[in-house]
Amino acid sequence: MKDKYKKYIEYIANDIQVPYLKSLEPYGLKQEEMNLVLGIVFNQPVHYIEPMHGVYNKDKVCIYSETSNGYWAKYEYDANGNRIYYEVSDGKWYKREYDSNGKVIYHEGFDGVIIDNR
């Protein structure tokens, strides 16, 4: 990738804010370019984007979703595919940790509730 083009993609990644897909519209990017920008935003390769549904990683797991009215949600997963972080546009979020059997051993949420079974 040429240096000038790379800087342009990085500029967009640093410029956009949630809701990300809506923020990308004025740039008129091609699908491949949107994948590059969102790959930087989410710090992982983006496999594909399904408009008004979500952004998927290389494992075809949804890492971000957005609706036409501006509602959005971000998701993070551990190496075993367990959802360890969830955040939505209305300010709600949670963090979780799992044991080797996939059982939740720690949960922390936006409401201040912490469950620690470690």
Express each pLDDT in 60-112 by its tens digit: 899 999 998 889 999 999 999 999 999 999 999 999 999 999 999 999 999 99
The average pLDDT across 11-36 equals: 94
Q: How many residues in the chain?
A: 118
Q: Give the bridge partners for 98, in sequence order.
A: 104
Q: How far apart are CA 94 and CA 107, in angstroms?
A: 7
Measure CA of the first residue to CA of the last residue in the chain; give whole Å. Answer: 46
pTM for this structure? 0.86
Q: How far apart are CA 18 and CA 38, in angstroms?
A: 11
Tokens of 79: 């190496």
Which pLDDT score, from 0 to 100, does residue 78 have? 95
Q: How far apart are CA 54 and CA 96, in angstroms?
A: 22
Amino acid at 98: Y
Amino acid at 69: N
Tokens of 72: 């959005």
Q: Could you please report the per-residue DSSP string of 87-112?
A: EETTS-EEEEEE-TTS-EEEEEETTS
